[in-house]
Amino acid sequence: MNKILTMKDLDDFVRGSTLFGTGGGGPQNVGKSLLLGSFEEGKNLEFVDINDLDDEAWICTALFMGSIAPLSDEEKEKKASLGLDEKKEPRVLVRAVKELEKELGIEFDGIVSVELGGINCPAPLDAAAQLNKKFIDADLAGRAVPEVAQILPRMMKYEIAPIACVDPWGDVCIIKEVANYDMAEQLGKMLSIPAFEPIGLACFPMKVKDAKEAMVTETMTRNLKAGAAVREARENGEDPVKAFADIADGQIVFRGTVEKKEWKNEGGYMYVDLDLKGIKEFENNTFRIWAKNENHISWLNDEVYITSPDLLQCVLEDGEPLTNTDIKEGDYVAVVAFANPKYRTEEGIRIMGPKHYGFDIEYRPMEEII
């Protein structure tokens, strides 16, 4: 199935999208609220095979950029002092795509998700539905990533600019050119920080024939299937965590209680340290996760364990996914690990592996560790 027809489908899709977000990509309640309007309006919420588009057609990605951390009291006061209390742009991705089309003098046939997650899948689907464009059954990373410079088009050295940036308060900015991908990330963060909320971006304009080489296909369909598998497992009295692990072709690597959560909001990113204490078959074991928006490094009993570019997702015992914004001390969670073959290259490990995040750790594929 490649279409959202019912509210149950919508819930399954958003749940599944969040399950593959590895702690980032946005919380599913926000993603659902973004998509609900298009659903209630009867818009077409279909996932289209990239091969159904003309090779010479243009597509782009549309995404939210910004920290997933909650605002501090000081930040709330600053936001209020700037008069940022009434949103003027309810659909920032729709406006961003229009602005990018205007800048380039072209019309996009389709939109593709930049990553997997509870916001950055439902939101571009909503934008595509509102703009009557095709929503491609793929994404540009196969997971959520903290930096837009880490997605697959960067590995292909495709141009990210121009970039259309729109915040909820009605501010619009076009970044015409960038020195490199990392500067594109920094410029986007510079715009998101004073907005005090994630901003909408449209970027990476690509012809379909080029985009095919820089995406992970059928991930939207997989999101829908994963969300449905978790729901059906609960309904049938089965283990919903195992149901997700099976869809992801992954393994349950830990079950435990969140003993401690420490986090900070810095430079437009949420940095998180989680300490888990084992339960059930993992009793008398400990597990630690380090995250930059998403989960990237883990330690089992203080020994380096699974790391990016392989994926780590925390879920509740009922299979509901947890973002690093929402996870809290006292939660009973399971950790599911699964691979991302697209990043198991020299360049993929360079931009996504432990050393990219400042850790003197060599990446090892998860199947060599477990």
| CATH number of the domain enclosing 335 | 2.40.390.10
- Tell whether the torsion through CA atoms of 124, 129, 132 and 135 is positive or negative: positive
Task: Tell me if 247 is assigned to some domain.
Answer: yes
SS3 state of residue 203: strand
Closest CA relative to residue 193, chosen from 91, 84, 274, 322: 84
Pair 249, 347 in one domain: yes
Could you give the CA distance from residue 145 to residue 295 in angstroms, rounded to a whole number? 9
Pair 332, 283 in one domain: yes
pLDDT of residue 1: 57
pLDDT of residue 301: 98
Could you give the CA distance from residue 275 to residue 301 in angstroms, rounded to a whole number? 11
Could you give the CA distance from residue 302 to residue 220 in angstroms, rounded to a whole number? 36
Could you give the CA distance from residue 146 to residue 306 in angstroms, rounded to a whole number? 18
Q: pLDDT tens, position by position, for the chain (370 residues)?
A: 589 999 999 999 999 999 999 999 888 888 899 899 999 999 999 999 999 999 999 999 999 988 777 888 999 999 989 988 889 999 999 999 999 999 999 999 999 999 999 999 999 999 999 999 999 999 999 999 999 889 999 989 999 999 999 999 999 999 999 999 989 999 998 999 999 988 999 999 999 999 999 999 999 999 999 999 999 999 999 999 999 999 999 999 999 999 999 999 888 889 999 999 999 999 999 999 999 999 999 999 999 999 999 999 999 999 999 999 999 999 999 999 999 999 999 999 999 999 999 999 999 999 999 9
Domain span at 310: 239-368
Q: Label residue 207 exposed, middle or buried (CB < 10 Å: 0-12, 13-18, 19+).
A: middle
Could you give the CA distance from residue 179 to residue 174 in angstroms, rounded to a whole number? 15
Rounded to a whole number of angstroms, the distance between the first and last alpha carbons of the chain is 33
Pair 362, 277 in one domain: yes
Cβ 60 vs Cβ 124: under 8 Å: no
Task: Tell me if 212 is assigned to some domain.
Answer: yes
Cβ 298 vs Cβ 273: under 8 Å: no
Which tokens in the block code for residue 228? 């449905």
Pair 151, 277 in one domain: no
Pair 28, 172 in one domain: yes
pLDDT of residue 339: 96
Give 20's contacts (C-beta < 8 A, 6+ positions apart).
Answer: 116, 117, 142, 143, 144, 219, 222, 223, 226, 248, 311, 313
Which tokens in the block code for residue 226? 């994963």
Task: Tell me if 25 is assigned to some domain.
Answer: yes
Pair 206, 270 in one domain: no
Pair 62, 127 in one domain: yes
pLDDT of residue 124: 98
Task: Tell me if 228 is assigned to some domain.
Answer: no
Task: Tell me if 15 is assigned to some domain.
Answer: yes
Pair 172, 263 in one domain: no
Pair 192, 90 in one domain: yes
pLDDT of residue 26: 82
How many domains does the chain contain in total? 2
Q: For residue 160, how many other CB atoms are within 10 A of its CB?
A: 24
Pair 192, 314 in one domain: no
Last residue of a domain, one of 217, 250, 274: 217
pLDDT of residue 171: 96
Task: Tell me if 224 is assigned to some domain.
Answer: no
Give 143's contacts (C-beta < 8 A, 6+ positions apart).
Answer: 20, 21, 22, 115, 116, 294, 309, 311, 340
**Helix intervals (H) in 255-358:** 346-352
Q: What is the 8-class DSSP label of residue 152? A: H
Rg (CA), the chain: 19
Task: Tell me if 202 is assigned to some domain.
Answer: yes
Pair 246, 195 in one domain: no
Last residue of a domain, one of 185, 217, 249: 217
- Bridge partners of 300, per DSSP, are 287, 303
Task: Tell me if 223 is assigned to some domain.
Answer: no
Pair 189, 277 in one domain: no
Give 220's contacts (C-beta < 8 A, 6+ positions apart).
Answer: 2, 13, 17, 47, 113, 121, 125, 135, 136, 137, 138, 139
Which tokens in the block code for residue 10? 């919508």
Q: What CATH number should be reported for the domain holding residue 24?
A: 3.40.1610.10
